[in-house]
Amino acid sequence: MKVINNILEITSYLNSFVSTGKKIGFVPTMGALHFGHLTLINTSKDQNDITVASIFVNPTQFNDKQDFEKYPRNTTEDLKKLSEIGCDIVFMPDEKEMYPETDSTKFNLGKLEEVMEGKFRPGHFQGVAIIVNKLFKIVKPNNAYFGQKDFQQLAVIKKLVSTTNSTVNIVSCPIIRESNGLAMSSRNTRLKEEEFDQASLIFSTINQLSNYIANNKFSDFKTWVISQINENKLFRTEYIEIVDTETLEIVTDLKNHKSITCCIAVYCGQVRLIDNIQINL
Ligand code: AMP
Same domain, 30 and 130: yes
Residue of 266, 267, 249 whose CA lies nearest to 257: 249
Residue 33 binned pLDDT confidence (cut-offs 50, 70, 90): very high
The residue range of the domain holding 82 is 2-173
Give the Cα separation of 93 and 103 in Å (integer): 16
53 has which bridge partners?
27, 90
Q: What is residue 91's predicted lDDT score, i.e. its pLDDT?
A: 98
Residue 40 binned pLDDT confidence (cut-offs 50, 70, 90): very high
Q: What is residue 278's predicted lDDT score, i.e. its pLDDT?
A: 97
Q: What CATH number does the domain containing 259 carry?
A: 3.30.1300.10
| Domain stops at, among 173, 208, 242 | 173
Same domain, 168 and 215: no
**What is the torsional sign of CA 71, 74, 78, 79?**
positive
User: What's the pLDDT tens digit per position in 73-106?
Assistant: 999 999 999 999 999 999 999 999 999 999 999 9
What is the number of domains present in the chain? 2
Give the Cα separation of 182 and 149 in Å (integer): 11
Instruction: Report the C-alpha dihedral over residues 60, 66, 72, 73, rounded to 10 degrees.
Output: 60
Same domain, 70 and 196: no
Give the Cα separation of 274 and 133 in Å (integer): 24
CA 228 / ligand 1 centre spacing (Å): 26
Q: What is residue 177's predicted lDDT score, i.e. its pLDDT?
A: 98
Same domain, 163 and 218: no
Same domain, 145 and 195: no
Please name the residue whose Cα sits nearest to atom 22 of ligand 1.
Answer: 147
User: What's the pLDDT tens digit per position in 223-237?
Assistant: 999 999 999 999 999
Give the Cα separation of 59 and 67 in Å (integer): 10
Residue 181 inside a domain? The answer is no
Look over the chain and give the mean of its residue pLDDT values, rounded to a whole number.
Answer: 97
Percentage of the chain beyond pLDDT 90 is 100
Same domain, 156 and 191: no
pLDDT average, residue stretch 178-206: 97
Same domain, 264 and 198: yes
Q: What are phi and psi of 74, to 5 degrees?
A: -155, 70
* Catalytic (active site) residue 37: yes
Residue 28 inside a domain? The answer is yes
| Domain stops at, among 145, 173, 201 | 173
Residue 270 binned pLDDT confidence (cut-offs 50, 70, 90): very high
Mutate to test the pocket of ligand 1, among 33, 149, 273 (most ligand atoms within 8 A of CB): 149
Same domain, 56 and 84: yes
Q: What CATH number does the domain containing 81 carry?
A: 3.40.50.620
Q: Are 275 and 257 in contact (CB under 8 A)?
A: no
CA 242 / ligand 1 centre spacing (Å): 21
Residue 178 inside a domain? The answer is no
Residue of 149, 218, 158 whose CA lies nearest to 182: 149
In the chain, how long is the greatest CA-to-CA distance? 59
